[in-house]
Each structure stands twice: as C-alpha cells, then as structure tokens.
Structure 1
C-alpha cells in the first residue's frame, strides 16, 4: 500500500500497550495516524466521558471498540452477566463515536464446544436489538484455532459468516484479521462470501518461530502472511474502511511507542 493510503491506517491500541489512552492519542497526532481502535481496559483509567472527550478534541476517528463477546458461561446467571457487559460495551462504542464493536466470542466453560457455539449465537441474538438502537454494528472476529480453548470457539471465517448471515449487514458482520485467518484453505471463498458484511480489517504478521501463543504477532512483512493479497480480496468484497494494525508482542511493547509507530507506518506502506 502506498504512502498516500496512510489515511486508512488505524492504530489498534494493543499495539502500543505501553501507552495509556491519552499517550496513544498524542502519539497518533504526532505521527499523523488518523484512526484509533480503543480497548475497553484503556478507557477505565480516564472514564468513558473523559476518554470520549479526549478523542473528540483530538480529531481522531475511532475505527472500533475492542472488545465485546465472551458469551459462553457455565450457568444462566453468568451468561446473563456476560450479556449485560456487552450492553455496556455497546454503550461505550456509541459514546466513543464508533459504529463497530468487535466480538471475541469466548471459549467453552467445559469441553462442550458445540454448546458453547450455540451460546455465542444466542448471545449475539440477544445483543442485536440493543446494539441497533445505539447505531452499533457487531463484528464477529474469528480467532485462530489455537485460541479455541481459551478465547473463542469461532475459529474460521466460514463460521463467522454463517452466524452473520442471519442478520442484516447493518446489524452484524465479520472482522477479518490476517493473523487469525491466513492459514485457511477456504479463505478467499469466504472473503467473497462476506461481501458487504466486512466491518473491519486487521493486519500484523505470523513470525517464525512464534514467540508466544498470545503475544506472538510480528510487524507486517516480517512473517509468512500474504497481507497484500488478503487486503485486495477484502477490498473486492467491498471493504474500503480503516485498516487496523493490531500487534500483540511483548518485545514491541517494551520499545518506546514513538519508535513503534514510526515502524508501523513504514511497514504499512511497504507490505499492506
């Protein structure tokens, strides 16, 4: 992607986990990054109203809020508690000025993965009317199968598409994160299937050896993912919105945030 396309670049806040929200906003302004994706744990430090004010005053646009989801739980009361947390997440997204809440759908509380997937679908069904009232779309993000045990039982874009297709694209869609889907032999068919329903596109890279299951992502161009090819496929499927750089990596978190953003912009221009 050319330097001229940097107007689509969004800093997913987890990439600069070392920064609080105020520092991330200031970093985006210094580096002329026009978009930011906010994580809920970063809002807590300043409170929702102050977080929303800081973003609005900065002129930054919010590409998404991460995250809702985590629907499965062992008891009905726990599942209701999870749903109520999702209601709060929807309200936060609306207050921050984004129309996209990313759903990391959650693991099975026991070994029954099929039941957990049903609970995910039930949770989304209950959340949709509330989200629609607030002008917020739900973006189902499939996670790589290695996260099926502890983060999400939705592991392919095909699964996410099947869930999203029950709804109007103005209510529910999918989020394509190259780290999670690059390996899928049916990926490009599923991207085409998602035409008109893609709510977000996230980039990083799969580096070798993977340094950590959770904190194992690399900078774009440092690994094995055909990022540019996936980006073009997503665009053919109608997605022309912001592109979030979402890199979870301890060695990157240990670096100064300004150095990280400088490299993010360079790698984005070269490899996305």
Structure 2
C-alpha cells in the first residue's frame, strides 16, 4: 500500500507563496513517503506542471492524488457548470502530474438548498464528469468530507445518511470511488467504522487523519457551523495520526477484508513549526499498521 502526505500544516504558507512547492517536496523526501497529495490552490499553471513532475521524480516521489473542492450545490445552474469546468481543469492537472485520483465533493451545505434538490444537482455534476475523467485515466474520489479550509459552510453530504444516499445515486464506474476519511465521520457525529463497513467495497483511497476537540464540544462546533464562517472552528484540531479519536486497528481490519491496495494520504496538524516531525510520526505509525495487517 503506497503512502502519501497532504501538506495541511504548510498550506497557508504554500498558498501565500511564503513556502515554495519545492521546499515542501524536500520535506516529503525526508519522510518515509511514496508520494505527495496536491491541493488545487497551490497547483501551478499547466506549463509549470512538467517541471514539478520532474522535481518529484528526482526525489523518487509521485503525485497520485489531487485534493480539489468543487461546490456543486450552488443554486444557479450556470454556476454549477462553472464548477464542472473547473473540476475538469483539476483533472487535466492531475493527469499532467502523473496522478490517478482527483477528489470530488458535494458542495457547501447552504441553508436554502434542500436535501433532494442538492443531491440531484451533485449526482448530475459528478456523472457529467465521469467520461472526461475516464478520457484522462483519472478516478474521481468522493470524500466523506467536513469542510474546505476556504468555505463558509460545512459539506452538504457531511452526514453519513446523506453521503450514502449520494453514493447510491452514482452508478458504479471504473473511474469513480470513495476517499474515506475516518476523522471526518467523527466530526459528523457518526461512527467511522460503521461508515467504513457500509462503503468499504467502494473505497479506493483514504485520508489518514485524526481529530480532537480542544476547549469545546461537538454541540459547540455545531453552533459555530450554523453561523457560517470561513475555515475550521478554533476548537477543532488535527493531530498526529494515531493519537486522536480514531481506532485505526478497526480501520485496517476492514481494509484488509477487502484487499485494499490504494493510496493512503496523511492529513495531520496545522502547526508548521512541528510539521515535519508530526508527519514523520504519522508515517511511522501508518507503516506499522500496514505491516501488521498486511495491507497493500
């Protein structure tokens, strides 16, 4: 099973340009990783991607996954079409980097968008994208997501019941699967193992994240979400994988049951000052689990 990492702790610096992508690749090269997951907000123009791919190859790394955040619950149809077009750009970039997986989401949980209407919109958008993804040898991965760092509202299909309903509306396709994130299920007040049991046959990639709450409760988090503000609430923390609320033994048991051999991408904390140290700890923890359960 190949292991990648997402640069969450460096994301603000990468977005602002304070940290160059090459510096992030240097960090990844010093950790026991096989690849790095890209975030669309830091992905350069197409003419720069060949250079980035060469830099990756020089470090014996790949860029298997693109973390993209389409917003398919925008009420105006022309706006949803614009989101589809932007996702196509992300698919092209994924392929240009040599990657195989590009994330799709449902969109923001806007108060004025009801469940059935939103699910119809999202399913239509994803189905429209599937032939384009297939043409570029890219698999679209639907994540049980919480909230993009730069969104005002949480994920429309955050709740397990809604997520499963959306998944049922999209027929099985060789270029479509699930990116499972166990800690996002915790934040949705769902049981991540129950969710994994329901979707494990369609999981093709996983975000290895761990969460904890500091200075508040799930109820406090819900109240903050309802107010609608950009980014994550201060009480919600990403931690080192294996040190939070997730039972990773139970997760890997389920992955072993379905002979999972896809990419796992580390997604841990926000503190850049200990970013490399924590990523290394997360990588060591996951390599141990991969060996213990003979997955990959």
Whether these two folds match at TM > 0.5 is: yes
C-alpha deviation, 1:189, in angstroms: 4.8
Q: Report the counterpart of residue 139 of structure 1 in structure 2.
A: 141
Q: Report the counterpart of residue 126 of structure 1 in structure 2.
A: 128
1:219 alignment partner, one of 240, 253, 257: 240
Between the aligned partners of 1:64 and 1:210, the Cα distance in structure 2 is 33
1:70 aligns with 2:71: yes
Q: Is the 8 A contact 2:71 2:83 kept in 1?
A: yes
Question: For each residue in 1:102-124, what CA deviation from the matched residue of structure 2 results, as whole angstroms up to 9, or x when unmatched?
Answer: 12321144422322222111110
Q: TM-score, normalised by structure 2?
A: 0.76
Q: Report the counterpart of residue 61 of structure 2 in structure 1.
A: 60
1:174 aligns with 2:178: yes
Q: Report the counterpart of residue 3 of structure 1 in structure 2.
A: none
Task: Mark the CA change 1:78 to 1:70 in structure 2 (over 3 Å): closer, same or farther.
Answer: same
Between the aligned partners of 2:205 and 2:262, the Cα distance in structure 1 is 7
Of residues 127-136 and 232-241 in structure 1, the stretch that sits farther from structure 2 once superposed is 232-241
2:253 alignment partner, one of 214, 232, 241: 232
2:190 alignment partner, one of 184, 187, 191: 184
C-alpha deviation, 1:247, in angstroms: 1.9
Between the aligned partners of 1:156 and 1:189, the Cα distance in structure 2 is 13
Q: Is the 8 A contact 1:73 1:108 kept in 2?
A: no
Q: Report the counterpart of residue 283 of structure 2 in structure 1.
A: 265
Of residues 224-233 and 104-113 in structure 1, the stretch that sits farther from structure 2 once superposed is 104-113
Between the aligned partners of 1:258 and 1:68, the Cα distance in structure 2 is 25
Q: Report the counterpart of residue 42 of structure 1 in structure 2.
A: 42
Q: TM-score, normalised by structure 1?
A: 0.82
Q: Is the 8 A contact 2:4 2:36 kept in 1?
A: yes
2:213 alignment partner, one of 193, 198, 208: 208
Between the aligned partners of 1:25 and 1:146, the Cα distance in structure 2 is 23
Q: Report the counterpart of residue 25 of structure 1 in structure 2.
A: 25
Q: Is the 8 A contact 1:93 1:101 kept in 2?
A: yes
Between the aligned partners of 2:175 and 2:165, the Cα distance in structure 1 is 14
Of residues 152-161 and 208-217 in structure 1, the stretch that sits farther from structure 2 once superposed is 208-217
Task: Mark the CA change 1:195 to 1:226 in structure 2 (over 3 Å): closer, same or farther.
Answer: closer
Between the aligned partners of 2:98 and 2:148, the Cα distance in structure 1 is 33
Between the aligned partners of 2:280 and 2:130, the Cα distance in structure 1 is 38
Between the aligned partners of 1:203 and 1:258, the Cα distance in structure 2 is 16
Task: Mark the CA change 1:110 to 1:261 in structure 2 (over 3 Å): closer, same or farther.
Answer: closer
Of residues 216-225 and 15-24 in structure 1, the stretch that sits farther from structure 2 once superposed is 15-24
- Long gaps (5+) in structure 1: 1-6
C-alpha deviation, 1:200, in angstroms: 1.1
Between the aligned partners of 1:79 and 1:234, the Cα distance in structure 2 is 34
Aligned-CA RMSD value: 3.0
